[in-house]
Homo-oligomer: A and B are copies of this chain.
Amino acid sequence: MLNKAYNKQSKQLISVDCSIFGYENGILKILLFNRNIDPYKGNISLVGGWVNDNESVENAAYRVLKKLTGLSNVEIEQVKIFSKPKRDEGGRVITVSFNALIKIVEHNIDLVNMHGAFWQKVDSIPNLIFDHNEIAQNSLEFLRQKASYHLVGRDLLPQEFTITQLRQLYNSIFQKEFDPGNFRKKILSLNAIVRLDKKDTSESKKGAFYYKFKNSEDITINERIIKFSQND
């Protein structure tokens, strides 16, 4: 610090805003918050909350997630900080955006409904308050970037899943169709999932083997999974 006078320095309001992603019926969705109370009643926003004294921003994000979905042990990740002085019309608020991936089937839908939240397809996000559209877009981009270099799915798919389901998840994230054969070979080459002695026969007569993720500790992925560029 050039001049660290703690008590003379003005303080700021800090919030977290979470882009909570879930995957359902082959579609990637984001959890949005429909404000049925003032202020900003009738507006839609990301799910957020204040950062309190004596807690980290991660802690605040966990708190918000727990309150809204009933889930603890959610994977969250810092994305970016948004701090333009006028971004929040209610006052000067600096917000930290987080990404969270959750299994829609496991969360507490009643809790979500009770808070006036709802799941929305990521390709049709409505107008949100403040800069939340920018934040959500940035978060989606971040998720794509992440899915290009890490195998996502552990936090979005059921514990046991087929490679086709994993591919459809990737299809929905990147909004493109991956070749079934090549996708399968690529994923298996990562050595990150193991086949179970069990088939899903709901999608085909032949049946597709279920797989599960190995423990994260046993996975090391140092290569790109998906070649993805803005221009695709």
- Give A residues with C-beta under 8 Å from B: 1-4, 6, 9-15, 33, 39-40, 45, 47-58, 64, 67-68, 78, 80-81, 83-85, 90-94, 96, 115, 220, 222-224, 227, 229-231
B residues near A91, Cβ cutoff 8 Å: 6
Q: Using known A-B contacts A57-B94, A230-B222, determine if residue A49 contacts B83 with beta carbons closer than 8 Å.
A: no
B residues near A2, Cβ cutoff 8 Å: 33, 47-49, 64, 67-68, 115
B residues near A52, Cβ cutoff 8 Å: 10
B residues near A11, Cβ cutoff 8 Å: 11-14
Q: Which residue of B lies closest to A7 (CB)?
A: B91
* Distance in angstroms between the alpha carbons of A115 and B1 in the assembled complex: 11
Whether A220 pairs with B231 at a CB distance below 8 angstroms is: yes
* Distance in angstroms between the alpha carbons of A108 and B39 in the assembled complex: 49
